[in-house]
């Protein structure tokens, strides 16, 4: 029996972050596919987003909360710094990536470019074009943070890196991202290293779940 159940679908960047956190901690987990509109899922996540998590009789939702809980509840490599300032810096990145980058990168570019056509729709090119300058500014900030180190915070992998890498997986794979990528060598080196981790390979999206 698994230690943890993650509820969601693999194409979700947030679900992937939660699953990569489990993998990096060595936590045995299972993924249970969900229907966001189902009443039984609302009992786990009243806002009907993903992921949610169950550990025994404890249910939790929101990615950052899930990842912090997994990091604290299980042995294995720490994914948050021990010092207050380091933890604050990780929290800063978790917030910025969720509040700013996800909107511009995923909602405004990746979803209309990838998911909408997959579902038979047509990409809103004006929406994508308007978002690309925002994405470029965000990538510039991230690249700057990676110039002097192998990770976003300190010299070890943290939850900040695990929140970022699923976003970059999508950005790097679309035409808009391909055009921007050579401008950000530090980000490129970081991504290549992250893509070599077993947790990355073990959580690749199944795009049939996005249709």
* 66-100 pLDDT tens trace: 999 999 999 999 999 999 999 999 999 999 999 99
Band of residue 56 on the pLDDT scale cut at 50, 70, 90: very high
Residue 188 and residue 153 in one domain:
yes
Residue 108 and residue 194 in one domain:
yes
Work out the burial of residue 116: count CB atoms within 10 Å of its CB; fewer than 13 is exposed, 13-18 middle, 19 or more buried. middle
Residue 104 and residue 142 in one domain:
yes
Provide the greatest CA pair distance for the chain: 49
CB crowding 49-79: b at 16 or more within 10 Å, else e: ebbbbbbeeeebbbbbebbbbbbeebeeeeb
Residue-wise pLDDT for 140-164, tens only, equals 999 999 999 999 999 999 999 999 9
Question: Which sign, positive or negative, has the C-alpha torsion 20, 156, 163, 91?
Answer: positive
Residue 179 and residue 96 in one domain:
yes
Domain range for residue 109? 84-198
Residue 131 and residue 75 in one domain:
no
Residue 96 and residue 193 in one domain:
yes
Residue 112 and residue 163 in one domain:
yes
Q: What pLDDT sits at residue 211?
A: 53
Q: Which helix (H) or strand (E) holds 38?
A: none
CB 162 within 8 A of CB 67: yes
What is the separation of C-alpha 195 from the centre of its chain, rounded to a whole number of angstroms? 13
CATH code for the domain in which residue 46 is found:
3.40.30.10
What average pLDDT does the segment 207-211 reach? 69
CATH code for the domain in which residue 175 is found:
1.20.1050.10
Residue 40 and residue 108 in one domain:
no
Contacts of 21 (CB under 8 A, 6+ apart): 27, 66, 67, 70, 71, 79, 159, 162
Number of domains the chain contains? 2
Residue 68 and residue 100 in one domain:
no
């Amino acid at each position: 029996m698994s230690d943890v159940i993650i509820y969601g679908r693999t194409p979700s960047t947030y679900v992937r972050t939660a699953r990569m956190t489990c993998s990096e901690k060595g936590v045995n987990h299972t993924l249970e596919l969900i229907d966001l509109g189902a009443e039984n899922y609302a009992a786990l996540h009243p806002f009907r987003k993903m992921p949610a998590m169950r550990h025994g009789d404890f249910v939790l939702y929101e990615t950052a909360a899930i990842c912090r809980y997994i990091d604290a509840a299980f042995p294995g490599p720490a994914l948050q710094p021990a010092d207050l300032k380091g933890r604050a810096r990780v929290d800063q990145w978790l917030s910025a990536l969720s509040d700013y980058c996800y909107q511009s990168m995923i909602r405004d570019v990746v979803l209309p470019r990838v998911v909408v056509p997959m579902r038979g729709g047509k990409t809103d090119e004006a929406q994508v074009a308007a978002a690309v300058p925002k994405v470029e500014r965000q990538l510039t900030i991230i690249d700057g943070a990676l110039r002097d180190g192998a990770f976003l915070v300190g010299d070890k992998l943290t939850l900040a890196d695990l929140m970022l890498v699923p976003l970059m997986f999508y950005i790097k794979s679309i035409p808009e991202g391909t055009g921007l990528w050579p401008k950000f060598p530090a980000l490129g080196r970081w991504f290549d290293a992250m893509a070599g981790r077993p947790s990355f390979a073990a959580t690749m999206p199944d795009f049939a779940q996005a249709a």
